[in-house]
Structure 1
Amino acid sequence: MRLAHRPLGLTLIATLFLAAGAATGQEASIAAPAAMVLENVPPVRAGLAAQVAKYNEFKPTSYAAWHPTRLEMIVARRHDNTPQLFRVARPGAPLELMTDYAEPVRSAQYEPRHGKYYVFGRDSGGNEVFRAYRRDAGTRAGNADAIPITPDNRRVQDTAWAKASGKLLYVTVPVGRQGSNDSVTSTVSLADPLQPEQVRILAELPGGGWNSFVFSHDDKQLVYSETVSANESYLWLMDVASGKSRRLTDKTGGDKVAYSGAVFARDGRGLYATSDRGSEFRRLVHIDLASGMETVLTPGIEWDIDDISLSKDGKLLAFVANEDGTSVLRMMRTSDRKLVAQPKLPVGVIGRIEWHDNSRNLALSLASARSPSEVYSVDAKTGAVTRWTTHEKMEVDMNRFVEPSLVRWKSFDGRMISGFAYRAPGARFPGKRPVMINIHGGPEGQSTPGFLGRSNYYTDEMGITVIYPNVRGSAGYGKSFLKLDNGMLREDSVRDIGALLDWIATQPDMDATRVAVVGGSYGGYMTLAVSTMYPERIAAAIDIVGISNIATFLERTESYRRDLRRVEYGDERDPEMRKWMDATAPASNAAKIRKPLFVVQGKNDPRVPWQEADQMVATVKKNGTPVWYMTANDEGHGFAKKLNADYLFYAGIDFFNTYLLK
């Protein structure tokens, strides 16, 4: 039935429950989603849900794929409870629903020659066991189910089109191996999506770090990446006919080098990629395939190049520089390697970029503090910027949302750390305001000045100043900075938050006695670590799918990602490292936590399994410290379904009203 995933409007729900509650003299509450399990989490008041509902209706839109022959595209946007795919026939055209599933669908690729069908990926319940499916382009959502084209119970890690033949390469790894041995093999397969049973195995590669496969223009070669860590990766070349490969970039044994984004030049004799060889930052480079010589094309840009795209005719390279968290799009002629006029885009954070096959129109997604992600295109011939999607009219005025400011503070060792502060509006909320420190995941993530979405409620309605720090170990500030939290240096990043607490105490508009710390994934680990290292300096904490003991996390996380994480965190099989991990684990130091804690977990999380949350909650409860626990049985590494995310947000507001704003 449609009602299963088309819920009544929250304002109407609140009205119904309020009417029911009037008979008892108590304000009614809204029911938690069916898959949610709550422990010590108070019921959400219907009045609060009604008040907050208008902040829950944002629908960021991201670019997914160009049609190969027509100037139209696929985008991803929330439909009812989950993100789904939509066709956009022209700029500003109504969005036409293409998929309608209970699980999120965020990416798609058209068949590259005629666009008669498209391929997309989907998992189940947040388990990240992605499987690829084929669907005819003209099929309406809900009319016919998609056809699976990759094996069941194997995770699709990567896909790539052989554009001349129309065949699809996909890379899969085994799943369901938590706690097993570390022997993982990545299988590289090539198939016609119209005849998926006829598969050719190109290679069996050791480990789970193989990704970024790209065909040459004649389909005869493949370039792909072997990722060892955030600081170390290598490029490989494969002859498609024979399946034989060779490593293109050397293992030097000295300074580690990271490569990404490799694509073949049109003449097939070289590659364009990003590389941090001889630099703190990832620069745009050209690599000659015969000699291996690497030529830097952007020597004057001292920031990471985050994304590149080469036009089909090979004449223009588009690339995005990450300049202190803000995205800057540039274009370069490959003939003379000169920059062309820079497109005039709104200031913000750019998502994926991709050229249309006409080599003239470049698609991108862009978000800012006052706009959810929207899809644009740039005309390389005229420089014109065209907006393809526009957000629906909202009850809230997004033009009044708080703009972030870049802030810096000195840490314990004299190093400068930065972040973005969204200050509560002083005219409405005078005096010292409570502060929320929201720490990104990764650890190699980066907080950027993008759109806060529902979190604008904290600043606009609750008067909370929100700070997004980029502690040591964050991306975007050079490879040396990226390595400063590895292994037994882990607690230095927590000390960066201690220094931030010092800085907050010096700010005339911030209340150092009312500070909450929040984070998801690795940010959840940081939240728990801050709660144990600085228990008297915070008022409350919310940990979302966070690590409570790095050693037990490494033992339980899926095997295909375990070795990659060991480079970052250390190897739990080493006795000395294990001893250090156990001694410093938040779960081992939970007795120090004195302030209320809210723990949130998806039961199907393959990255940070639910046991990490369970062991933390069990220990904190023994101390008599207030602890709220929320688990969703249909979610994984974070809440992807709107009903679950909404309920979590309401509960989080209650938590802050109870323990931060009192």
Structure 2
Amino acid sequence: MTKPYTERHSVPLTLLTAALVLFASAAYAQSAARETRGNLVIEGIPPHSTRALGTLDGWLAGRGASFQDFLPDGSILITTRFGDADQIHHVARPGTARTQLTFDIDPAGGVSVSPAAESRVFLFARDRGGNENAQLYLQNLDTRQTTRLTDGRSRHGGALWSRDGRRVAFQSNARNGVNQDVYIAEIDGGSGPRLVVASQGQTWTPLDWSTDGQRLLLLDYSSVTDASLYVAEITTGALIRVPLSGDPAKPSPQSGIGSARFSADGQGVWFTADLSGEFHQICYVDLADGGLRTLTSELSWDVEDFEVSAEGRWLAYVANTDGFSELFIADLGTGVTVRSTGLPAGIISNLRFDRQGKTLGMSIESSQSPRDAWTYDVEKAAATRWTRSEMGLIDPTQLVAAEVFRYPTWDRIGRTPRQIPALMHKPAKSGRHPVVIDIHGGPEGQSRPGYSPFGQYLVNELGYAVIQPNVRGSTGYGRRFTMLDNGRLREDSVRDIGALLVWIAAQPDLDADRVVVMGGSYGGYMVLASLIAYGDRLKGGINVVGISNFVTFLTNTSGYRRDLRRVEYGDERDPSMRAFLRRISPLEKASMIRRPLLVVQGLNDPRVPASESEQLVAKIREQGGEVWYLAAKDEGHGFRKKTNRDFYLKTAVTFLERLAAP
């Protein structure tokens, strides 16, 4: 997430200087000569400002570390960056040095260690240039030999070891480039992966192996509010739908499903779903009689992740409480659940138990600390921090904590105005601060209090206040809230930005005359739509890999994603819906974008193709508008490599400095 934050301008602009800046930027926008620098394509972007070149590097020099898995001896594997991209490292004990295991120009992730006794073989995934056609690899930690498991060209994911470590199940579109099928690869076999379950329109993801290795637990995902669970027989491929109604004679209700695991005895399934109301709860279904019970019925927030220890005694889960994570440990033997202690407030992810089932690994980050690897002893209720990620030249005492607030929007629930949740990062200095509104993607995403050195730079160095609204359609606030922007309700979420602008104008410490909007992916669409609807109240916008035309987006997005996105946005093959999608598409109203715009795009993006940005840039320039354009040949849906990301952020700082000038 790219966060904007802050207030002051340490080098005041005279009227003459301001006029020269405006003239120079306009000249760049008009000429728009295309320049290639390595993997970067640059159009209409002036030289980076003195401040962007002089101070930003120190803020971006840090890194984070993500917990991945345990090795048999209790040491851990993490991903962290040395050089340009995240790679896999080994950490022997808490606080000790990190030993790099993978070396490549593209990042590695999705790490899992073989569960075979004393095995030091791990699985990982890597794509090329952000194309998301991830390949699966095995590495032997002792010999450092790496072997590719998959075909080298298709998309693969959801890889799971069988309990004996002899096989790996995964999803892949290798059969036709569109359908997400389930395959199994024999680790020591000479033959290639074997197709086990072929999609007939489903989007399959393997979630767990049974203890005996004869069954797979599969998720069929249609949308964030509509998914189903199945059990597949490995030898025959036969599928049995898991009943979720509590009565096998009744059909399962439509619900969103997060994750699922077989119980230790194989007689049932633990899973998260919003079966009983607004929020995802942990439930258990008996596979024999369909009996259903809920473990977390007292929670009024989503359970976003859980993990069960191998012997089945402990169940750890994370509740998303207004964006902040809370870790709970349930003793399934005694029925006692306790909230964890000793962990910092922030976001918890990547839960995984060790082989003994007593230590839980995880990643933790907050708005004031980068992501690091932690473990938690569930019997002793003791937390241990394994890594301490560097923060570059940042003074930790300067870092601003995220504040949760809510603002009234344009519609009502009964007689009360609907409230939109949001995060605020605000400079400590007094005065009226310019504002960046940072809108998340998804649209089923959520802005949360994570670590952003760029955001902290904007708060501390440029004096911006950064607001991250969770407009309708966001997850984390209940099923109904998530569905409020579906289909023909799309523009209702844009009106939530209009309501936020009204709220900003009423705040004595925010400058309503200096507001910039930015966002990525669907958030990029929201940037464009906001500039069209509220351009008179905005100074400009930053659109990162955003949708400019819903019809061309749905036509050109990767085939494996197309039907999934039609559920959210509407089916462009229907003439009425096609007309609606065209009407709300920013490309159709490009002449109304009269404020400066920075467009950022990965040229290998399989989700929002580069054509979405290219056609927008051309149309705005044709209409006489000002647009800065930055693209990367070795990136996809966002910039993952440090050199590319640093150049983008220096461009963004230069852009924001100009827009914030009084």
TM (normalized to structure 1)?
A: 0.91
Which has the larger displacement, 200-209 or 442-451?
A: 200-209
Matched residue type, 2:100: L
The Cα shift of 1:106 comes to: 2.2
Is residue 438–residue 518 contact of structure 2 (8 Å, CA) maintained in 1? Answer: yes
Matched residue type, 1:98: L
The Cα shift of 1:47 comes to: 6.2
**Aligned with 2:291 (options 293, 301, 304):** 293
Matched residue type, 1:598: L
1:217-616 alignment runs, 5 A limit: 217-249=211-243, 256-340=254-338, 342-392=340-390, 394-413=392-411, 414-426=417-429, 430-616=430-616
Distance 2:165 2:41 in 1: 49
**Aligned with 1:36 (options 31, 36, 40):** 40
Distance 1:134 1:245 in 2: 29
> Number of residues paired by the alignment?
618
1:117 paired to 2:121:
yes
SS for the counterpart of 1:534 is helix
Which has the larger displacement, 41-50 or 627-636?
A: 41-50
326 and 239 in structure 1: CA distance in 2 versus 1, 3 angstrom threshold: same
Distance 1:254 1:375 in 2: 38
Aligned to 2:23: none
SS for the counterpart of 1:587 is helix
Is residue 243–residue 252 contact of structure 2 (8 Å, CA) maintained in 1? Answer: no
The Cα shift of 1:137 comes to: 0.8
Distance 2:190 2:376 in 1: 36
The Cα shift of 1:45 comes to: 4.9
Distance 2:121 2:114 in 1: 6
1:657 paired to 2:651:
no
Distance 1:438 1:577 in 2: 29
Which has the larger displacement, 101-110 or 637-646?
A: 101-110
SS for the counterpart of 1:619 is helix
Is residue 119–residue 134 contact of structure 1 (8 Å, CA) maintained in 2? Answer: yes
Aligned to 1:78: 81
Distance 2:291 2:362 in 1: 31
Aligned to 1:636: 636
Distance 1:522 1:639 in 2: 16
The Cα shift of 1:111 comes to: 1.7
The Cα shift of 1:393 comes to: 5.8
Distance 1:477 1:212 in 2: 27
SS for the counterpart of 1:347 is coil
- CA displacement 1:456-506 (0-9 Å, x = unmatched): 110000000000110000000000000000001000000000000000001
Aligned to 2:22: none
Is residue 287–residue 294 contact of structure 1 (8 Å, CA) maintained in 2? Answer: yes
Distance 1:250 1:274 in 2: 11
1:96 paired to 2:99:
yes
Distance 1:540 1:176 in 2: 42
Distance 1:44 1:207 in 2: 48
The Cα shift of 1:95 comes to: 0.3
SS for the counterpart of 2:336 is coil
- CA displacement 1:361-411 (0-9 Å, x = unmatched): 000100011100111000011111000001136321123201111111111
488 and 320 in structure 1: CA distance in 2 versus 1, 3 angstrom threshold: same
Indicate the percent of aligned positions where both proteins have the same amino acid. Answer: 37
Matched residue type, 1:615: Q
Is residue 444–residue 473 contact of structure 1 (8 Å, CA) maintained in 2? Answer: yes
**Aligned with 2:183 (options 181, 189, 194):** 189
288 and 551 in structure 1: CA distance in 2 versus 1, 3 angstrom threshold: same
1:207 paired to 2:201:
yes
SS for the counterpart of 2:338 is coil
Distance 2:41 2:251 in 1: 50
Aligned to 2:31: none
Aligned to 1:20: none
Distance 1:472 1:47 in 2: 36
Distance 1:76 1:211 in 2: 23
- CA displacement 1:614-660 (0-9 Å, x = unmatched): 11111111222211011111110000110000000101111011122
Distance 2:373 2:401 in 1: 21
SS for the counterpart of 2:587 is coil
SS for the counterpart of 2:80 is strand
Distance 1:88 1:599 in 2: 39
Is residue 150–residue 196 contact of structure 1 (8 Å, CA) maintained in 2? Answer: no
Is residue 157–residue 173 contact of structure 1 (8 Å, CA) maintained in 2? Answer: no
Is residue 532–residue 586 contact of structure 1 (8 Å, CA) maintained in 2? Answer: yes
Is residue 408–residue 416 contact of structure 1 (8 Å, CA) maintained in 2? Answer: yes
Matched residue type, 1:348: G
Distance 1:592 1:56 in 2: 35
Aligned to 2:12: none
The Cα shift of 1:337 comes to: 2.7
RMSD: 1.8
360 and 254 in structure 1: CA distance in 2 versus 1, 3 angstrom threshold: closer
Q: Which runs of 5 or more structure 2 residues have no equivalent in the other structure?
A: 1-34, 412-416
Distance 1:211 1:475 in 2: 21
Distance 2:238 2:466 in 1: 52
The Cα shift of 1:341 comes to: 5.4
SS for the counterpart of 1:44 is coil
175 and 153 in structure 1: CA distance in 2 versus 1, 3 angstrom threshold: farther
Matched residue type, 1:268: G
Q: Which runs of 5 or more structure 1 residues have no equivalent in the other structure?
A: 1-30, 178-183
32 and 374 in structure 1: CA distance in 2 versus 1, 3 angstrom threshold: farther
Distance 1:551 1:301 in 2: 40
Is residue 327–residue 348 contact of structure 1 (8 Å, CA) maintained in 2? Answer: yes
Is residue 603–residue 635 contact of structure 2 (8 Å, CA) maintained in 1? Answer: yes
- Structure with bigger RCO (C-alpha 8 Å, 6+ apart): 2
Distance 1:624 1:341 in 2: 58
Distance 1:393 1:629 in 2: 30
Matched residue type, 1:399: T
Aligned to 1:48: 52
435 and 601 in structure 1: CA distance in 2 versus 1, 3 angstrom threshold: same
SS for the counterpart of 2:55 is helix
SS for the counterpart of 1:472 is coil
The Cα shift of 1:66 comes to: 1.1
Which has the larger displacement, 162-171 or 45-54?
A: 45-54
Which has the larger displacement, 188-197 or 86-95?
A: 188-197
SS for the counterpart of 2:588 is coil
Distance 2:409 2:51 in 1: 43
Distance 1:305 1:280 in 2: 11
1:128 paired to 2:115:
no
Distance 2:254 2:661 in 1: 47
